[in-house]
Amino acid sequence: MLSVEDLRKGFGSGRRRLEVLKGINLKVEQGELVSMMGPSGCGKSTLLNIIGGLLEADSGKITLQSFNYGTKSPNRVVDVRRNGVGWIFQDFHLVDRLTALDNVAFSLELSGMSSSEAEERAKAALERVGLGDRMDFIPDQLSGGQQQRVAVARAISGSRPLILADEPTGNLDVKSGQEIIHLFQDLCKNDGISVLMVTHDPILASMADRMLLLKDGVTAASDIRSAWGIEEVQP
């Protein structure tokens, strides 16, 4: 579904050059929930931005279904952003003055859908995330967990195969955070959506099908011990 091969990215030039991603290899299967952890500043958001078509890598290759990119500049991967990936951010990124329904419908209309079809799809997506009775509420009238579920509805409403979530539970209490992960599990299992999620919380990370650790510019499979930062004890 998603395949990232030998992806490299640095910033700046000369002595101030900073190599951030030094050959990332990873795969996400259809219907898989994959969590990614790693120290602050190690390049997690940079990697998601490249996979999401918002930033180009220096070298390497990304295949997402039929999309091939990685080093293409963002203006050449409009179709990835439109049809390939949905985003979920820590701070929800909802429009304050719009109802839940309009927040979801608005983004569909931006991608060129007629307003009547956008509204139908938005309703279905909000039902799917359990907000059928909150469609006419504006963000201020919703809890943090509910606002994040509106963002999830927005991300899945365009039938995109991959959701990129950058610390989706960072602004939520423990219970709401877990509910969001349960929703991801449900979407992966029952709707065949794939989710790549960055989190700093080892408990939430361990709820994924698979955990990755991004460290020193490369990714490695991780387990709960390394996620907690517990060093291997040599026998």
Q: How far is the CB of 72 from ligand ATP (least distance, A)?
A: 18
- Give the nearest distance from C-beta 66 to ligand ATP in angstroms: 27
Q: Which does 40 bind (CB under 5 to 8 A by kind): ligand ATP, Mg ion, none?
A: ligand ATP
**Is the Cβ–Cβ distance between 21 and 217 less than 8 Å?**
yes
Nearest to 81 by CA among 155, 2, 6, 1: 155
- Region near Mg ion per CB under 5 A, out of 41-49, 51-59, 207-215, 222-230: 41-49
147, 101, 32, 93: CA torsion to nearest 10 = -50
Beta strands in the chain (DSSP E): 2-11, 18-28, 33-37, 59-64, 67-69, 85-89, 162-166, 194-198, 210-215, 218-221
Closest separation between CB of residue 130 and ligand ATP, Å? 28
| Choice between 41 and 192, CB closer to ligand ATP | 41
45 binds Mg ion (CB under 5 A): yes
What gap in Å lies between CA 148 and CA 131, rounded to an integer?
11
Nearer to ligand ATP, 42 or 126 (CB): 42
**Which of positions 36-55 make contact with ligand ATP (CB under 6 A)?**
38, 40-46
* Residue sitting closest to Mg ion (CB): 45
Q: Which residues sit at the interface with ligand ATP, rule CB under 6 A?
A: 11, 18, 20, 38, 40-46
